[in-house]
Chains A and B, each alone.
Chain A
C-alpha cells in the first residue's frame, strides 16, 4: 500500500507517538491540573511540555500563548469569531480552505465585510493585490500558508509585513505547513497561527492549536466556549488569562501526549531536513508526471513555491474514477474531488470536478514514487 493522503491526515505516525499515547493511557490517564494528586500533575506536565515544544517550533516566547484546540478549523473559528466585530472588514485569498471560507461566509451574514483577493491560476498570490484592497475598516488578513489542493505556498512573510504596516491583525492557516515548513511567528509577523496536530506534526487527530500573539489582548478576544478550567474555581466568570481563557473543559490529554511526541519527532529531525527530503521526492514525482502527456498538472512550476502536495487530472477519467482505480489496481491511497476547498478549485479552474491529489509525508520513499509514476502512466496510456 502507498499512502499519499498526508495532507488530510499523515500516516503512518512515528512509533514514539503511539508509545506516548499508550503510556498516557496506562500510566497517567488523569485530568490535567484539576487535582493535586500525582497523576493529575503528571498529565498537566505533559500538556505543559507540549506547549513548550510547540513554542520552540514556532518561536513563541511565552508558551502560555499556545492554546490547544481540536484542530486548525477550531483555531480559525476561535480567531475569527473571537476578534472580528460588526462592520469590521477582513481580507483573505482565493486559495482558502472551507475552514476559513465557511466561518467568513457566516460572519458576512452578521455584518462583517469579506473581500476575497484573487490568486493566479497556479495558486500564487501577488501581495500587492492584497494591499490594494485594504480599507479604513479592515481589521484582519487571513491567509493560507500553503494550499491543501496544489501545495502552493502563499507569501505570508510579505503579507505579514503589509499587515503590520497597516496595523492589521494577521491570521495564518498553517494546517498544511506546521512541521513541514519553517514558521517563526516573530520573523513572519504572525499575530494568530492556527495549526493542526495530525498532519505534519505527526500527532493524532483531535489535536491542534492557536498561537495568540502578544499584539492581541486576550481579554478583548471572546472564547468560543466557557467552562471549567481548574483555575479560579470560586468564580463563575471565565478567567481572563492565557491559556485558560480559551481552554474550557477537559482537554484531549492522550492526544496532546501523542502530539508532544510528534513535535519532538519533527524537532529531532529538524524542519529543514524534513522539507528537503519531502521536496526531493516531490521533485521526482512532478518530473515523472510531466513526462506523462495525457495528464494535466496544477500548481506552481518552481519547487520553492510549493510544499509536498500536488494535484493532477487524467484527460479521460474523472478524479474520483482515477483515484478509485489507483487504489483498486495499484494500492495507492489518495484523495480526489474538491478537498474542502471550492475557492481554490475555482482559482485553478477545476471546479466542480476537482482533481486527484497526491500529498507526501516524512515516511514516503523513492520506491513508492517510482511505483506511483508507473501506475499513473499505465492508467494514462490506456486511452
Chain B
C-alpha cells in the first residue's frame, strides 16, 4: 500500500519535497493520478511506511496536505478519511 499526498500548489509540492527528502523520507513525485483529480500538477507518493512521520514534518512546517490517498495493489485509490485537512493551517503564514 502506498500513500499519495496532494497539495494546493506546485510551490508547496516543491517545498514538501525538499523537506521530506532532507529528513531522509523516500518519496516520488508523480503526476496527480487521474482517479484523484483532473489536475495537471504533481503529487508526492511515499514509498515506505512513513506516512505519519511525513505528515508531522509537513505540519510542523505549516504545509497543509489537501488530500491524502492510499493506493492499493490493484492501483485503486482510496481517500483516507482520518487524514486531517489542517483546516486551521490552510494558508502558510
Contacts and interface: CB of A to CB of B under 8 A. Distances in A.
Nearest to B32: A36
A326 B43 CA distance: 57
A41 interface: yes
A64 B9 contact: yes
Interface string A337-366: 000000000000000000000000000000
A34 B40 contact: yes
A64 B12 CA distance: 8
B15 interface: yes
A238 to B, nearest CB: 13
A230 B10 contact: yes
A243 B31 CA distance: 20
B8 A231 contact: yes
B93 A243 contact: no
Interface stretch (A43-51, A101-109, A140-148): A43-51
Nearest to B93: A214
B91 interface: yes
B40 A241 contact: no
Nearest to A239: B9
Interface in B1-53: 8-15, 17-18, 29-32, 37-43
A33 B7 CA distance: 12
B13 A44 contact: yes
Contacts of B75: none
A160 to B, nearest CB: 20
Contacts of A44: 10, 13-14, 42
A230 B40 CA distance: 6
Contacts, number: 74
A45 B39 contact: no
Contact of B14 (A34, A45, A62): A45
A32 interface: yes
A243 B39 contact: no
Given A35-B31, A36-B29, A64 B11 contact: yes
B77 to A, nearest CB: 15
B60 interface: no
A36 B9 contact: no
Given A37-B31, A241-B91, A233 B39 contact: yes
Interface in B44-85: none
A234 interface: yes
**Chain A binding surface SS class:** loop
Nearest to B63: A64
A48 B18 CA distance: 10
Interface centre among B10, B29, B37 (most CB of A within 10 A): B10
A233 B9 contact: no
Interface in A50-95: 51, 62-64
A234 B36 CA distance: 11
B28 to A, nearest CB: 10
Contacts of B40: 34-35, 230, 233
Given A33-B42, A41-B42, A231 B9 contact: yes
B12 A32 contact: no
Contact of A234 (B18, B37, B93): B37
B5 to A, nearest CB: 13
Contacts of A241: 8-9, 91
Interface of B: 8-15, 17-18, 29-32, 37-43, 91-93
Closest 10 CB pairs of A and B: A36-B31, A33-B10, A48-B14, A36-B42, A62-B92, A234-B38, A233-B39, A231-B9, A233-B40, A64-B11
Interface of A: 32-37, 40-41, 44-45, 47-48, 51, 62-64, 214, 229-234, 239, 241-244
6 contacts: A41-B42, A44-B42, A231-B39, A234-B38, A241-B9, A242-B11
